[in-house]
């Protein structure tokens, strides 16, 4: 295991994966790490859907791209960048999940006021734990518009009374992942003493 600070500072979003599956014991390890995230009133409002089926992932990718197109066109503020993004969404064969062998969707219980934040912390635990084991990860927010569709949720077997919060892909990186730490913008910090 690497030092936790090194893990935090060197984790990168991976968008190019080998076909090798992530072993079940590693998936269980990642979910176990996720459940140790803090949660409001200790509600632990998360549920995990593990998808390894390539056909299901490809179908969800197409549904996600289709659902995202109207949103992308509506919020376009930089025509040059948006044109490429919209072309990506409309292109046949492009994959929102970058052909990763594993998709884990974290769902949050709608009864929990803090579910979004709690599930986000669980997702971060999973991604950091994955990096500690040489497994790449990426949060695929572009899939969320499709995951708001009740019909799609039913097809996936999502838990009733929950909403999708964090679609995460995992797998072994293909080629080299950037190892340098990208420049970080100095945040605004106010001190009240």
Q: List Cα–Cα distances, 167 to 8, 9, 49, 180, 192, in angstroms.
A: 20, 22, 9, 26, 37
Domain containing 167 equals 4-54+95-171
CATH of the domain at 22: 3.40.109.10
Structure tokens of 187? 């945040």
Beta bridge pairs of residue 136: 171
135 inside domain: yes
Whether the CB-CB separation of 97 and 168 falls below 8 Å is answered with no
pLDDT, average across residues 165-176: 94
86 inside domain: no
150 inside domain: yes
Over the stretch 2-39, which tens digit does the pLDDT of each residue have?
699 999 988 999 999 999 999 999 999 999 999 999 99
Structure tokens of 84? 């490429």
123 inside domain: yes
Over the stretch 95-148, which tens digit does the pLDDT of each residue have?
999 999 999 999 999 999 999 999 999 999 999 999 999 999 999 999 999 999
Q: How far apart, in whole angstroms, are the C-alpha atoms of residue 82 and residue 70?
A: 12
Query: What was the pLDDT predicted at 63?
Result: 94
Looking at the structure of the chain, the number of domains it has is: 1
DSSP-based three-state secondary structure for 106: strand
Structure tokens of 106? 């974290």
């Amino acid at each position: 295991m690497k030092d936790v600070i090194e893990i935090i500072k060197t984790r990168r979003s991976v968008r190019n994966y080998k076909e090798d599956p992530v072993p079940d014991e590693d998936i269980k390890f990642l979910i176990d790490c996720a459940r140790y995230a803090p949660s409001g009133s200790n509600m632990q409002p998360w549920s995990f859907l593990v998808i390894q089926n390539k056909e299901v992932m490809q179908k969800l990718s197409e549904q996600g791209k289709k659902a995202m197109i109207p949103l992308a066109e509506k919020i376009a503020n930089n025509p040059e960048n948006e044109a490429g993004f919209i072309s990506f969404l409309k292109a046949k064969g492009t994959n929102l999940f970058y052909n990763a062998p594993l998709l884990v969707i974290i769902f949050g219980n709608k009864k929990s006021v803090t579910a979004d934040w709690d599930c986000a912390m669980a997702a971060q635990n999973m991604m950091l734990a994955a990096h500690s084991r040489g497994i790449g990860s990426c949060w695929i927010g572009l899939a969320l518009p499709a995951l708001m569709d009740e019909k799609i949720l039913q097809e996936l077997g999502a838990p009733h009374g929950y909403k999708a919060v964090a679609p995460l892909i995992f797998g072994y990186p293909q080629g080299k992942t950037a190892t340098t730490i990208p420049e970080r913008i100095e945040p605004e910090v106010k001190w009240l003493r």
